Amino acid sequence: MKIFNTLSMQMEEFVPLVPGKVRMYVCGPTVYNLIHIGNARPMIVFDTVRRYFEHKGYEVDYVSNFTDVDDKIIKAAMEEGVSAEEISKRYIEECKKDMAAMNVRPATVHPLATQEIPGMIEMIETLIDKGHAYVKNGTVYFRTRSFNEYGKLSHKNLDDLRSGFRDLKVTGEDEKEDPLDFVLWKPKKEGEPSWPSPWCDGRPGWHIECSVMAKKYLGEEIDIHAGGEDLVFPHHENEIAQSECATGVPFARYWMHNAFLNIDNRKMSKSLGNFFTVRDISKKYDLQVLRLFMLSAHYRSPLNFSADLMEAAKNSLDRIRRSAARLKDIVEYAGAGPAFDDEIAKIKEAQSFIAKFDEKMDMDANTADALSVIFDLVRFANTQVTEASSRAFSEAVLEILTNLCDVLGLVACPKTEMLDSDIEKMIAERQAARKAKDFKRADAIRDDLLSRGIELMDTKEGVKWKKA
């Protein structure tokens, strides 16, 4: 597999530190509110990368943190009159619900920053002892000048960065030896959560959190570090500096970054009124639709979110599920027995889609092209598998389709736990809506049923349904 490495700015063949194993760290969200669709892109993208490594036979240790101490969390807590811990716990649980709905697998470990404070203090002490950090009035700063390779990830020139900060004068800046020095530990303010340290009661800086959690759960040197491109500088750049200065070894071999998500060709912003949470989207769409939409472009390409594109993604998911449901029906009613003679070559042709899929994903996780292979397979299934086909042939095609979809985290055959009476009740409600010419409501009911694995068929004899 080849990966575009932000560090080298070129495609590189992936070679794991330990054969057959992948150690991967992905920066998780700051939990002060419901996650938005911008948060969803790296969650979906790198969950898919993880799934693909597992598909290729790798054992993956996948760590993704929750930042549960932060200015935004403290602000939200003060506004509600509750503790920062209550805010973070609430939104961690809500985030996990949204992740499950997007079929994002739980990480091997989801560390919380607040539970790793001792490790952060230990790393900061190491940096001070090695001359890479210094203390000013209880605040500990990292000395960027001490790391000769600072800027190697963002490809920024240190002198240019310093000149840009030359006129910066804000509270505390005059304490720094250099404007680019960043905080490792800071004193508490009134009403803020804090922890005791050798320097003061306070809390860690954001950057040190991820360095410590990656080191604890994956080791001093890891295979892949990933996140949104907005984290390249300063967050990931600072992680490299403090980690490599503390340990003396390279921090991560490969750096993967997804591009931004725009809304109707504009940056997502509350002030523009185009800010959407994942929960907002779930009220209108099965979040499998959101997942397919996110994978419809290469992860390093900017992605534009719009109603039209979401409808296109919904139609694409429906195509896959209709094909899978049809194959299931054929399998169910086909007689037992081996494939017919003329189907042997067709099974080999169906299996060739696996190699084609892998070829696309091997090129820097190109999910857009991998999806094209799945739709080619859908066309093959729809034309080559008929009611006269053998069970062996039908099962082989269905298994390939469901397995390739699963690598992308797409559920081709959703299960339903709805009672027949509930289904009939919703069908009756849909019929009433159609009679009242409320076609929008009728379509919404049909789509809701489809998302639960129930396909409706309007026939001359009335509405029929089947479970996919």
Domain ranges of the chain: 2-258, 307-407, 420-467
Instruction: Supply the pLDDT for residue 174.
Output: 66
User: Residues of the chain whose pLDDT is less than 70?
Assistant: 162-174, 416-419, 451, 467-468
**Yes or no: domain 307-407 corresponds to CATH 2.60.40.10:** no
Q: How many residues appear in the chain?
A: 468
Instruction: Supply the pLDDT for residue 157.
Output: 84
Instruction: Supply the pLDDT for residue 170.
Output: 41
The beta-strand segments (E) located in 85-240 are 133-136, 139-142, 182-187, 202-204, 222-228
CA dist 194 and 442 (Å) reads 54
CATH number of 2-258: 3.40.50.620
Instruction: Supply the pLDDT for residue 410.
Output: 98
How far is C-alpha 1 from the geometric centre of its chain's CA atoms?
20
Instruction: Supply the pLDDT for residue 164.
Output: 55
Match 């304490």 to its residue by tokens. Answer: 175
Name, in order, each residue with C-beta under 8 angstroms of 314's C-beta and a sequence gap of 6 or more: 285, 286, 289, 447
Instruction: Supply the pLDDT for residue 465.
Output: 85
Instruction: Supply the pLDDT for residue 419.
Output: 67
The per-residue b/e assignment along 201-230, b for 16 or more CB within 10 angstroms, e otherwise, is ebbbbbbbbbbbbbbebbeebbbbbbbbbe
